[in-house]
A and B are shown apart, each in its own frame.
Chain A
């Protein structure tokens, strides 16, 4: 199930998740990847651990979002994917 959450707007982030994946793949697209890439990944992993998701592909398109934004967008994208899968 591929689902997304967020916007391609300033200070926001778009997160796309695919639950049909083996293991965890996290792809980060950001102008600030060199500086903050590891923090972005940490924020996403924190949510994945919290929701106990083991198999997932996450694509983050960051437009200067703070980490609470990335966390929120990731969480809702996963929730939407889980919901969509049941239908």
Chain B
């Protein structure tokens, strides 16, 4: 099940408690929330935490740095050695998929891990990539889930923010189409306004109705709300 995905920042306090909130998956972010000077220390902190805290490693996703940056290979290498198999990647260009697959294949063979055991969640927001979703999904067997990056999508589409998120609907629906090609999850990006619970619930229900299976959130209080709504969804019933 991938109903709720809780994003946690990599700080000592949060790392020790993050697994107590009953989220289906935990996402630890090394990308945007970490400054350039602290990339090395955050990565090491995460490696040590994974070794010492009794996380369920199948349900941990590490959001690694952009493929166009200098850090992603080390991110994957160090955390792979610590036992992590799920990685979250913000997809910038389609050609990166091959590069990632090849890098993981070499790594798996070198460490005698079964080929294809590393899975990836791609965060996709560029309209060009969303239109190409069929090629993306069919070109690799490593996709665990597709996640809709609404900020990037909105930035490219250039419309004013709608209250009912009408501006996002086409992108979301196309992503659902993509995830339907294979049996992979389709998940939505976080809802920002913590005080606005009504619209939060509305958004989850709307997502559920068009075929999403889960939602990312960044506050523990949102986890239970998401789990409760998706519990009754057609997808998770059997």
Whether A associates with B in a native complex is yes
User: Residues of B with Cβ closer than 8 Å to A?
Assistant: 11-13, 15-16, 40-41, 44-45, 47-49, 51-53
Distance between Cα atoms of A67 and B52 in the complex (Å): 9
For A79, what are the chain B residues with a Cβ–Cβ distance below 8 Å?
40, 44
Task: Indicate which residue in A12, A75, A80 contacts B12 across the interface (CB closer than 8 Å).
Answer: A12
Cβ–Cβ contact A69 & B40, under 8 A:
no
- Minimal Cβ-Cβ distance residue in B for A75: B44
Q: Output the least CB separation between B19 and chain A (Å).
A: 14
Give the tally of cross-chain contacts (CB within 8 A): 45
- Let me know if A5 is at the binding interface, CB within 8 A: yes
Distance between Cα atoms of A76 and B41 in the complex (Å): 6
Distance between Cα atoms of A69 and B53 in the complex (Å): 11
Given contacts A72-B41, A76-B44, contact A12 B53 (CB under 8 A): no
Main secondary structure on chain B at its contact with chain A?
Answer: helix
Task: Indicate which residue in A6, A10, A65, A68 contacts B41 across the interface (CB closer than 8 Å).
Answer: A6
For A76, what are the chain B residues with a Cβ–Cβ distance below 8 Å?
40-41, 44
Which 6 pairs across A and B sit closest by C-beta, in order of nearness? A68-B52, A72-B48, A68-B48, A72-B45, A11-B13, A69-B12
Q: Output the least CB separation between A81 and chain B (Å).
A: 12
For B15, what are the chain A residues with a Cβ–Cβ distance below 8 Å?
68
Q: Output the least CB separation between B194 and chain A (Å).
A: 23
For A6, what are the chain B residues with a Cβ–Cβ distance below 8 Å?
41
